[in-house]
Amino acid sequence: MMWPLDPPSVSADDSYRACTESIRDRAAKPGSEGKPGKPARAYRSLLAAAAPDVGAASRRFEIAALGSTLHDLKAADFKVPGFEDDEAHQVIYGRGMVGNTAGRVIYDALMAAPAHERCPFCGHGMVRELDHHLPKTSHPALCVTPLNLVPACRDCNKIKGTFTPRTADTVLIHPYFDRIDNEPWLNASVVHTPDPTLDFVIDPPDSWDQVITNRVEHHFELFGLKRVFGTQANRLVSNIRHGVERLVRTAGAEAVRAYLREEAETRFESRLNGWEGVTFHALAEDDWFCQGRFMDEADLAD
């Protein structure tokens, strides 16, 4: 998303050509022992004939993605002429891109794009799979369109599944098209319990309109990011807890605050809306935490 990526440099036409150029015609296969046979398929001429439609579909997708109007697209306009949907993506994507050398080069380059292999949807998981932004099962004409292929972690790819936006408010944040990471929008508050936890919220900057705010809220909700970030933050707090307790006793609350601010600044330099920087920042601005009062709570709870 939320964590932008430079758009791939390879065009839709070049990708389609690379993925289809080595696919051969299929000869008829006779059936045997109750299994039905398969008819011959003239893949070479079918794929060549479909190229202009695939190119046009890719351009329609790009224009809609740029204008955040993916919800207006009709799946019927993203078929591959001469193919059933499943056959189209199994041949063009499955065999042509995942399984073929020329297409595989493009696949591998797309997968390698995110810095530190971080998933652009959650900003946390390791990139493991390519997600079809509009599903290959319903929009097979986009199955090897680079702008429709986004590297993702396994969890995010699974959660997203065949999600297709129906309204402007549910258009997912697209890492190649949406640039929202230049100002802060992620915030958190400290929950005052013996084991302090963090509650993450979207804090929309003034420059956002209602639609982008709703889209980010929806993205946050769909990928369960409140829980993902909360879990990571809890781990961070328990890791620094011992050091913070000692610092409170030896140097006082302002020393704790200075340490936490320094840690937040370092994280913000590389990632303005990362959960780590936001966690340190929220802890630094929380008097209760800086004063080490979670120790009292722990005593009371004993």
CB-CB contact of 52 with 130 (8 Å): no
Instruction: Out of 57, 122, 149, 282, name the contact with Zn ion by CB under 5 A.
Output: 122
Q: Which stretch binds Zn ion (CB under 5 A): 4-12, 21-29, 114-122, 139-147?
A: 114-122
Which residues 127-186 are close enough to bind Zn ion by CB under 5 A?
153, 156
Q: How far is the CB of 130 from Zn ion (least distance, A)?
A: 13
The span of 49-57, 123-131, 181-189, 288-296 binding Zn ion (CB under 5 A) equals 123-131
Q: How far apart are CA 205 and CA 172, in angstroms?
A: 18
Residue 127: is it exposed, middle or buried by C-beta count within 10 angstroms (0-12/13-18/19+)?
Answer: buried
Q: What is the nearest approach in angstroms of Zn ion to the Cβ of residue 12?
A: 25
Candidate ranges 31-39, 67-75, 111-119, 160-168; the one touching Zn ion (CB under 5 A): 111-119
Q: Which is nearer to Zn ion, 85 or 276 (CB)?
A: 276
Cβ closest to Zn ion, residue 26 vs residue 154: 154
> CB-wise, 125 or 175, nearer to Zn ion?
125
Hey, which residues between 204 and 223 contact Zn ion (CB under 5 A)? Answer: none
Q: How far apart are CA 26 and CA 45, in angstroms?
A: 12
CA distance 255 to 290: 8
Only one of the segments 110-118, 120-128, 184-192, 254-262 lies at the binding site for Zn ion (rule: CB under 5 A); that segment is 120-128
Residue among 41 and 219 whose Cβ is closer to Zn ion:
219
Nearer to Zn ion, 154 or 192 (CB): 154
Report residue 61: phi and psi, to 5°.
Answer: -60, -45
Closer Cβ to Zn ion, 19 or 122, answer by number: 122
Residue 123 Cβ, how far from Zn ion at the closest point, in Å? Answer: 7
Structure-derived torsion over alpha carbons of residues 188, 186, 267, 251, reported in degrees to the nearest 10: -20
Q: Cβ contacts of residue 151 below 8 Å, gap of 6+?
A: 5, 110, 111, 113, 114, 119, 120, 127, 129, 130, 131
CB of 131 to Zn ion, least distance (A): 9
For the bound state, the minimum distance from the C-beta of residue 63 to Zn ion, rounded and expressed in Å, comes to 27
- C-alpha to C-alpha distance for 47 and 138, rounded to whole angstroms: 18
Judged by beta carbon, residue 119 or residue 188, the one nearer Zn ion is: 119
Among residues 8, 96, 103, 125, the one that binds Zn ion under rule CB under 5 A: 125
Contact predicate 96/19, CB 8 Å: yes
Nearer to Zn ion (CB atom), residue 65 or residue 153: 153
Contact 61, 134 (CB under 8 A): yes
* Closest CB 3 distance from Zn ion, rounded Å: 9
Contacts of Zn ion in 230-289 (CB under 5 A): none
Q: Minimum CB separation from Zn ion for residue 155, in Å?
A: 6
Q: Rounded to the nearest whole angstrom, what is the least distance from the CB of residue 119 to Zn ion in the complex?
A: 3
Q: Which helix (H) or strand (E) holds 243?
A: helix 225-251
Q: Are 222 and 159 in contact (CB under 8 A)?
A: yes
- Tokens encoding 54: 């695939």
CA atoms within 13 A on the CB side of 260: 29
Taking alpha carbons only, the member of 173, 168, 170, 167 closest to residue 152 is: 173
- Interface with Zn ion by CB under 5 A: which residues? 119, 121-122, 125, 153, 156
